[in-house]
Amino acid sequence: MRGYVTFPIIIVLTAIGYLYYTTLFVLIDGWLGLSTAAGFANAAVFTALAVVVVVTYGIAVFKDPGRVPYSFSPDIEHSESPIHEIKRKGGDLRFCQKCSHYKPPRAHHCRTCKRCVLRMDHHCVWINNCVGHENYKAFLIFVFYGVIACIHSMVLLVGSASYALHNDQEHNAGSFNISYIICGILLLPLTIALIVLLGWHIYLILQNKTTIEYHEGVKAMWLAEKVGNVYRHPYDLGIYENLKWVLGPSIFCWFCPVTKNLGSGLRFRTAYDVPLSTFPT
């Protein structure tokens, strides 16, 4: 259930704690020294990154991703809803038999959470929660700052390990810390995985898609091309509008851990609302 601390969450928090301790008290202290200006500056920056990572991770874990109100009913005459998502078979409005209510646009039923989630992207086992309308930015910011923290730690690892090896060669000592090896084994695949995940979600944001909509769009594009039509994602408003819809109305708050979401998650602007002159190419 959402909000429960599960084993994958314990793994994530343990990895964060271990990397933080190793980066500060092994890498920085062993190479630059925490009492030096360079060491203190790197420790302060890495600590700030770690705090943002933990805070955004907590928001992604505990924040409700978006619940469909029981009173929701699609208004086919609503001026702000030019399109309505329908079932592939039959063409009826999307209705969740398990939740016994209509599905708003971009909402999907999560079999793990056992309910419908607004603008559902996917269910993530590492946060024991769905990534949806209300916590998508927190999840994205967590990954973004996680990448920066990992790269920072990786640079410190390389520098500190090189310094330690150089000292060992000069003094014929064998003091190379096993923590370097453990940190490298943990840090390298984690950095690569987070970079790939961040790149994937940047790609989705630029097109205003969710992971579910991407896979649905692949099939829709294939069907459209089969009959000679061109498929266009209906929620693609152009790069800037797409970024603003996910990250917030103010560009100065795009990288802030917390910001107000645009809209309620029940209705979304579509490409049909955008003038042709501003249509994405």
Q: How far apart are the first and last CA of the chain?
A: 42
- Cα(218)–Cα(230) distance, integer angstroms: 12
Catalytic pick from 96, 99, 110, 124? 124
Decide: helix, strand or coil at residue 52.
helix
Distance, CA of 175 to CA of 164 (rounded, Å):
8
Contacts of 262 (CB under 8 A, 6+ apart): 244, 245, 248, 249
d(CA 125, CA 102): 26
Q: Identify whether the C-beta of residue 65 lies closer than 8 Å to the C-beta of residue 132.
A: yes
Identify which of 211, 208, 188, 184 has the alpha carbon closest to the alpha carbon of residue 200. 211
Token readout for 156 is: 């410190």
Task: Determine whether 96 is an active site residue.
Answer: no
DSSP for 215-248, please give it: HHHHHHHHHHHHTT-----TT---HHHHHHHHH-
Residues labelled catalytic: 124
